[in-house]
Chain A
């Protein structure tokens, strides 16, 4: 079945460092891909999405490009801030199905 694999956390970086969180997926159909973020004590919220190959999603300085050839949707940010500390979830919806499948999440700590 469909699945999402994220890099293990926690990831600890200094403020202004470059961030990459890897995400790969397996899907038999043509999925839409998402990154959700969960700040401490809050629910998940959509960070960005891409619905077809080569689309780039972007929001709040974060970017991710839908790479069909490598089945990847890596999250990047050029200069992280302490306020980016959160858990990041990669997710997909197979367009033949209604279910959203989440990865296990990657906890990010940004040090001042």
Chain B
């Protein structure tokens, strides 16, 4: 089945120790997104790629970076995780951007714990 796969599902790191989360998709979608979801809160968009075009949200901290080496893969790098970065990180894809056609397909998420 075509889908969005995130690895690892659970990641434990120490304060300040870099972390990389991965996302792969078999949908051949043009757009890939990274969201941060904290407990009882709405998912917050960090950034997205439209093909190779990177779009950062204005309030995304510099601590968060992303790479998309090809259509299928996208990575979230957290350079120096703080306690406040503990959250579920959701990867999503969509065929195109904009309007009612912009239906997102989500992965199962990567839960990050920072000790």
Contact = CB atoms under 8 A, between A and B. Distances in A.
If over half of B's interface residues share one DSSP class (helix, strand or loop), that class is named, otherwise mixed; here it is loop
A45 B106 contact: yes
18 contacts: A32-B100, A32-B102, A36-B104, A42-B108, A43-B4, A43-B106, A44-B43, A45-B106, A51-B100, A89-B43, A93-B98, A93-B102, A95-B99, A100-B102, A102-B42, A103-B42, A104-B40, A105-B41
If over half of A's interface residues share one DSSP class (helix, strand or loop), that class is named, otherwise mixed; here it is strand
A105 B6 CA distance: 22
Nearest to B41: A104
B99 A93 contact: yes
Interface string A73-94: 0000000000000000100010
A74 B87 CA distance: 28
Contacts of A104: 40-42
Q: What range describes how many residues of B lie at the interface?
A: 20 to 34
Contacts of B105: 45-46
Contact of B108 (A36, A41, A46): A41
Nearest to B109: A43
Interface string B88-99: 001010000111
A49 interface: yes
